[in-house]
Amino acid sequence: MTAGRRPVSPALLSVADTAVYLGVSRTTVYKLSAACGAGTGELPVVHIGRKRLFRVADLDRLIERSVAHGGRQSRIKVAS
């Protein structure tokens, strides 16, 4: 790292990084994503080339919605 530069926090996360961020499986991330044909559409997706990426701000909103609707009692429901 060059002196004087601060590390940059990514604005977009991969599917694997999103799963870690949310504490869920990659399959759950796909099921939550709007781009997945069978997805619930709760999680907007950004496509850059063939990559499927997720905005950290959208992930934080998803978490806040879950907490606002009961915290521990409220779990993200994903259709099987």
Q: Would you state the pLDDT for residue 22?
A: 93
Task: State how far the Cα of 74 lies from the Cα of 63, in Å rounded to an integer.
Answer: 10
Residue 3 maps to a domain: no
Say how far apart CA 46 and CA 52 lie, in whole Å: 6
Structural domains of the chain, count: 1
pLDDT value at position 18?
95
14-53: pLDDT as tens digits: 999 999 999 999 999 998 887 666 667 788 999 999 999 9
Does residue 64 register a pLDDT over 60? yes
Q: Is residue 55 in some structural domain?
A: yes
Domain-embedded: residue 65 = yes
- Residue 63 lies in domain: 12-71
Alpha-carbon span 39 to 46, nearest angstrom: 15
Query: Listing from the earlier edge strand, what are the strands of the sheet with 12-13?
Result: 12-13, 51-55, 46-48
3-state secondary structure of 24: coil
Flag whether 22 is in a domain: yes
Q: What is the percent of the chain with per-residue pLDDT over 90, rounded to a whole number? A: 44
| Confidence (pLDDT) at 77 | 56
23 domain-assigned: yes
